Chain A
């Protein structure tokens, strides 16, 4: 039953994306200054918020695991972190491409872009830690602690980078900060795409959790098989 639900949600998310793309490409007017390229923005900001939501979910699940030692929190934490990393990668790449177009340089030391890269490295460390520890209980416990640390570190990273940028103002991707009043149609599309990304994230996390559970089952099967064979 669960798998059917995941497939259904997956298809619905895909359709939702197609509908959004249709609206973005064909119906929304061009942005005065940037022309067509601003449409990347709809695939730059929503994945960022979804990634942060995933990382927050992972941190909360890790805290719950430490309290209750229940496996499903650990499985959720690793799945949410991995999906968050994928979405953060989308945010990073689209940000770079947009910066390239705006200022002709691949890496604009924009505060958000730098913080996004640091965040990506922090959670890459989380996955590396999980790979390095063999015993499942030890791995779950240590990575839960690291996930909580990581979330605080990300908060500090964003704060510090923002202040750094206010003192050394480099190129800032203006539309991203939404200072100027944004066209209501674009605003609505932003939320639509955010909804689509959130739904996609839920589907991916669910798939990844199934994967993690079957990985765990295989490990115990292998142990039992060696014991018998």
Chain B
């Protein structure tokens, strides 16, 4: 029981200090909305072609604005050597990892919760036909981003080029998850259910989450302890 208590102690701490300062949240939120706006110059907003691109556009927005939050993940621990205080506390490395991943997940979810309606309004798409499935798929993809973001945040925490290294490492590896999310979101935003042809992408997402979450939970301890 104490494990969950410790995980949510860390997630709560991260969320509280992020929601209090909102520095990363505001930056990535405005970044996301700006890209959504810019996109209307790329494709003529009420064309049928936009329907094809909705998933791709949305997940590109989430991926790029999400990294601004992921960068803050471990940067928050650097002043006053708080990371040492956390590693020295009796919590297992995986608890620290899950705590931070959940905090990142929640923050990126906030961005998504705002971007989907904005997207719907700007491009007058009724995207809520398959809402429950859409939320599930977004959650899976966001968790993939949070897992890799937190893990590589831990890998690069002591580096000077941290802000540059994290995107460099995370994007190539995230492509399979992003591809799946894009395929499924395009389908769901258009209101169609996930048919037999696209079910494979759900499996890719689920397998991606399971494998990388377990890998990260096992290896994060070796990364954090010097």
Contact = CB atoms under 8 A, between A and B. Distances in A.
Is any CB of A less than 8 Å from a CB of B in the complex? yes
Interface of A: 66, 118, 121-122, 125, 128-129, 132-133, 137-138, 141-142, 145-146, 148-150, 152-153, 156-157, 159-161, 163-164, 167
Interface residues of B, number: 30
Nearest to A133: B159
Nearest to A158: B176
A28 B215 CA distance: 47
Interface string B123-137: 000000000000000
Given A152-B212, A160-B204, A145 B173 contact: no
Interface string B161-176: 1000100110011011
Contact of A122 (B172, B204, B226): B172
29 contacts: A118-B175, A122-B173, A125-B165, A125-B172, A128-B169, A129-B156, A129-B165, A129-B169, A132-B165, A133-B159, A138-B226, A141-B222, A149-B151, A149-B215, A149-B219, A150-B173, A152-B212, A156-B204, A156-B208, A157-B172, A157-B175, A157-B176, A160-B175, A160-B176, A160-B180, A161-B179, A163-B201, A163-B204, A164-B179
> Which residue, A122, A137, A145, A164, has most C-beta atoms of chain B within 10 A?
A145
Contacts, number: 75
A132 B226 contact: no
Interface of B: 151, 155-156, 158-161, 165, 168-169, 172-173, 175-176, 179-180, 183, 197, 200-201, 204, 207-208, 211-212, 215, 219, 222-223, 226
Contacts of A129: 155-156, 159, 165, 169
B215 A152 contact: yes
A149 B212 contact: yes
A35 to B, nearest CB: 35
Contact of B204 (A145, A148, A149, A159): A159
B176 A156 contact: yes
A157 B174 CA distance: 9
Contacts of A142: 155, 223
B222 A145 contact: yes
Contact of A132 (B151, B156, B176, B211): B156
Given A66-B222, A132-B159, A160-B179, A167 B204 contact: no
A145 B172 contact: no
Contact of A163 (B200, B211, B226): B200
Contacts of B158: 133, 138
Contacts of A153: 172-173, 176
B223 A141 contact: yes
Nearest to A122: B172
Contacts of B168: 125, 128
A153 B177 CA distance: 10
A118 B156 CA distance: 21
Given A138-B158, A141-B222, A156-B208, A148 B215 contact: yes
Given A142-B155, A160-B204, A132 B160 contact: yes
A145 to B, nearest CB: 5
Contact of A167 (B165, B175, B197): B197
Contacts of A163: 200-201, 204
A128 B175 CA distance: 19
B161 A148 contact: no
Nearest to A168: B183
Contact of B172 (A118, A138, A159): A118
A152 B211 CA distance: 8
A152 B109 CA distance: 26
A149 B222 contact: no
Contacts of B176: 153, 156-157, 159-160
Contacts of B223: 141-142, 145
Nearest to B204: A160
Contacts of B173: 122, 149-150, 153
A146 B215 CA distance: 11
Given A121-B172, A125-B169, A146 B155 contact: yes
